[in-house]
Structure 1
């Protein structure tokens, strides 16, 4: 059985809702990431015993009877984390430890925000709105080099400095936290590629629409709104010699 280190270097945060089928393997892989680590499972709204199973495996469990909503578990887990490196994964994706360690190593080497290089399918005639939103946000942030890398996608890791700069509460809106990290001068890099697209479980659509897609696109719009509110309607870009007053 896994045992959380009392003075962890790495905190591994796993939001989980009804993930009994996968949580055992997720925790087993997480336990191999670093010898001085803690695993925090935020089990919210689960009715299948996910939280009991996680406790038996040795993880620290934060349990809530009601669903917290998308990504709120990241903020809740962060507030309880003790490590200087915070690694975020999901309870429904079994990612081998060998593909998680590069994110931890990058933060230990000085990166504040270590992102998954996964860009999503970008060569289709019609690009998925979430993928497009990620690329647009990075363009607005003058970080085209990040392409589709984003705090929206796991796995990713943050330094303690990044958490304190951005604020744990903002991790509930990953694109906003991403924009804040870049704009506030943190070292943000896409460090390693894990193809999570194929791991994502299919979701039930409502009237032909994916409700999660709408939430994520809205989160990106909120991030762009924050940029324009804080840095002006051009997001900090110069208008150079354009004289707008001459336009009728």
Structure 2
């Protein structure tokens, strides 16, 4: 199934990702405010010219190679087109240059016509990238190369992309940006990197069809759908899921060469549009590969989470809740999952005990190193499970027992954190009006760690939630503390998938603050089966899946684009697709 582009404005809440995606032909998009007039295909004028500099097929041997359509959307780019069209229109491999001129008030149309371009002239602004789709619809070449009209391209910039297509690639994209580029950590680059991680191609870094130049075979449109070129990440996702061969033949630094435009020149944020495009692309991915995007759930045993308090562990839970509820005016607790932590757990408990909490709950599960022999006392309750619960499930089970407490601190049993570093989390909840007190990892984490898959997904989720101020803050990392309101708002079973619980908290309007930095990267006990690259980075794969599962919640609540606007005139594309 091809992806659909979604509605033009206003994201309706939906119950599932799958229901938000339908083929574009089956429905007309809703037009937003100010778009009362639906332009018809007749409002699109196409001019073909044989003026000075026009493409002429006079040599048969050369004619056989004239199979490239150059597609250049342009809004008031007369001066740049006057520089590049003479060299592009006479390029021996170029069959046609298509200039999609939208709402131009300068000489763009005249300049394009003077140099023999096929001009598609629209009187209204189309919005970002829509001209690419229109140009592709009208292209006749075997290979399509997409450019922007505000960059002075050279043939050397473009030859590698055409070469890659001739050598068998279906799609050829720019390698820009590289990790050494200053734009590599820009929000749009984070989204591109995260999409490639979700598509299981981390080697592509931040390469994307959002960036020009890029090219494709005309036949690739049968898989992608020409309309979807208006939403480049959606088109890119369709290409990958459709099995097309994608190559990255060259690095072209368009960041240095792209003309900066004032925000006042348009009534929308390009950054927000691109972020919305990536939400939409990931929503399509989830509709095709499932709620976790095909990523593993690790060793989690979620069967325990589906049981109510009255099921098989009810007696222990009931006694535990009663003992907790009888302690103190401001009750605080700690939950510590532990699996085979005989060496580290005593040190963890020693530091936590210094906080003078009302109760400490250890959720021991499936241990065989002696941890299972740990006994409780007046301050510590140990809850034993015969089988391993898997990653973070112990948090959910512990939280269910203490959800009526004013503050619950979550730490792991595999490494010791000083009680002095834990105090800010407790105090932020008890006296700081904070619902989620989180580890401020982004403040001191080295730049190379911010590029890793887990950090990339954390950053992406905060961007999608419109909380860029939270940077790498996440419920995935310990330590963190939750308020009573948070524990009664977030379903406790969602705490076993921390990013999912995090999205619930943001959508519910809970107060979230990064309160203190604790280094959990270098101090965390390394487990070869989970962390090693040669073992497939199982932990990273699971956490990527966690974030995709969280994004499915966001899409279900805020719509196909996660609440980001869609300013493009997608109705123009549908009018072009109607029978004439």
- Partners of 2:88 and 2:176 in 1: CA distance: 20
Pairing 1:203-214 to 2, within 5 Å after superposition: 203-205=261-263, 211-214=269-272
- Partners of 1:197 and 1:36 in 2: CA distance: 26
Pairing 1:183-202 to 2, within 5 Å after superposition: 183-202=241-260
Report which stretch shifted further, 157-166 or 209-218.
Answer: 209-218
| Aligned equivalent of 1:139, options 159, 182, 197 | 197
- Higher radius of gyration, 1 or 2: 2
Pairing 1:106-121 to 2, within 5 Å after superposition: 106-119=164-177
Q: Contact (CA 8 Å) 2:89, 2:116: kept in 1 or not? A: no
RMSD: 2.1
Provide the residue aligned with 2:31 in structure 1: none
- Partners of 2:236 and 2:195 in 1: CA distance: 9
Q: Contact (CA 8 Å) 1:113, 1:156: kept in 2 or not? A: yes
- Partners of 1:162 and 1:183 in 2: CA distance: 12
Please identify runs of 4+ aligned residues in structure 1 that moved more than 3 A: 4-8, 32-36, 120-126
Structure 2: runs of 5+ lacking an equivalent: 1-51, 58-62, 306-396, 398-580
Provide the residue aligned with 2:121 in structure 1: 63
- Partners of 1:242 and 1:73 in 2: CA distance: 46
SS at match of 1:62: strand
Report which stretch shifted further, 136-145 or 210-219.
Answer: 210-219
Q: Contact (CA 8 Å) 1:5, 1:38: kept in 2 or not? A: no
- Partners of 1:52 and 1:196 in 2: CA distance: 26
Provide the residue aligned with 2:87 in structure 1: 29
Q: Contact (CA 8 Å) 1:116, 1:150: kept in 2 or not? A: yes
Aligned residues: 246
Provide the residue aligned with 2:240 in structure 1: 182
> Compared with structure 1, are the counterparts of its residues 125 and 204 closer, same or farther at alpha carbon in structure 2 (3 Å cutoff)?
closer
- Partners of 1:126 and 1:35 in 2: CA distance: 33
SS at match of 2:252: coil
Pairing 1:81-160 to 2, within 5 Å after superposition: 81-119=139-177, 127-160=185-218
Q: Contact (CA 8 Å) 2:209, 2:236: kept in 1 or not? A: yes
> How far 1:243 moved relative to its partner?
2.0
- Partners of 2:188 and 2:176 in 1: CA distance: 13
Provide the residue aligned with 2:53 in structure 1: 2
> How far 1:161 moved relative to its partner?
2.2
**Does 2:77 correspond to 1:19?**
yes
| Aligned equivalent of 1:171, options 229, 235, 257 | 229
Report which stretch shifted further, 37-46 or 113-122.
Answer: 113-122
- Partners of 1:238 and 1:5 in 2: CA distance: 56
> How far 1:21 moved relative to its partner?
1.6
Q: Which has the higher contact order (CA 8 A, sep 6+)?
A: 1
1:51-106 CA-to-partner distances (Å, cap 9, x unmatched) read 11100111010000111111000000000000110000011001111110110111
> How far 1:205 moved relative to its partner?
3.4
Structure 1: runs of 5+ lacking an equivalent: none
> How far 1:121 moved relative to its partner?
5.7
| Aligned equivalent of 1:53, options 73, 86, 111 | 111
Q: Contact (CA 8 Å) 2:196, 2:204: kept in 1 or not? A: yes
Q: Contact (CA 8 Å) 2:177, 2:183: kept in 1 or not? A: no
- Partners of 1:47 and 1:101 in 2: CA distance: 32
- Partners of 2:94 and 2:76 in 1: CA distance: 28
> Compared with structure 1, are the counterparts of its residues 67 and 205 closer, same or farther at alpha carbon in structure 2 (3 Å cutoff)?
closer
> Compared with structure 1, are the counterparts of its residues 122 and 215 closer, same or farther at alpha carbon in structure 2 (3 Å cutoff)?
farther
> How far 1:246 moved relative to its partner?
2.0
Provide the residue aligned with 1:217 in structure 2: 275
